Amino acid sequence: MREDIYGHAKRFRWIASRLSGEDRILEVGCGTGYMIAYQLALLGRDVRGLDSHEDSVALGREMFKSAGLDPDRLSSGDIADIEGDFDAVIASEVLEHIPDGDLKPFLVAVRSKLRPAGKLLVTVPNGRRWADVENFFWKKLGLGAALEKIKFVAAVNRLKAFLFGREAAFPHEFPSTLSSSPHVQRFTLDGIVGLLSDSGFDVEETDGSVVFSGPFSNLFFTGAGPVMRLNTFLRRMFPSLSANFYISARRR
């Protein structure tokens, strides 16, 4: 998977490095599966993906099939419908979509699917991240739609493709999801760690992604290797400004 300004490839490497080759893995809220389950399957890992959005799962199944992978690795439904237990569960960019009253029951259900001392890998957006500023101007004020209407976005993508190759403008072959589910949670690192602890998990490790992300950063800087490396370096210097938090926990 190619890197972008959001650090998606970095996130996948972080997740994959905390799994063993023998783990039975479940990704909940996988969307199409492209960002994680699909990549793990390409590496030969024993992984399943689950999502409630049927259209995303349908696209993911076609994607798996076209790559010679078993499309039945992906399914739509509730976590209670999944049979068996797992060595590791991944919930990446999922918890921020779940309303308050459903968060703890969801995590309890996840815990029930883990084997004793099984691992939970969580990633969530920082509730105070730079991307929210960019999203406000791009989406709320409509600047993104205006830039697309006057062909500015297309022109920048053509320039990036010329300078850095087509992958700089279009780094991902498939979308991560077809759902437009909004964020309803804003997490701090202490908040997500506390939630996991209250839900029966022992947090072992925390990490993070990058500092600057969002639609403007993506348009201008995805594909520019030096800028993306600087973005990752800045996160190491200023961890509280991380756009996304990564958390590794064990079933207590």
**pLDDT tens column, 57-94:** 999 999 999 999 999 999 999 998 898 899 999 999 99
Residue 246 neighbours by CB under 8 Å, 6+ apart: 11, 14, 15, 121, 122, 123, 206, 207, 208, 209
**Tokens representing residue 29 in the block:** 């809220």
Which CATH code is given to the segment(s) 8-129+180-212+235-251? Answer: 3.40.50.150
Identify the pLDDT of residue 30. Answer: 97
**pLDDT tens column, 162-210:** 988 888 889 999 999 999 999 999 999 999 999 999 999 999 999 999 9
Please state the rounded mean pLDDT for residues 134-145.
96
* β-strands 201-208, 244-251 pairing: antiparallel
Q: Where are the domains of the chain?
A: 8-129+180-212+235-251
Residue 115 pLDDT grade (very low, low, confident, very high; cuts 50, 70, 90): very high
**pLDDT tens column, 198-244:** 999 999 999 999 999 999 999 999 999 999 999 999 999 999 999 99
**pLDDT tens column, 144-163:** 999 999 999 999 999 999 98
Place of tokens 């506390």: 194
pTM beyond 0.85: the answer is yes
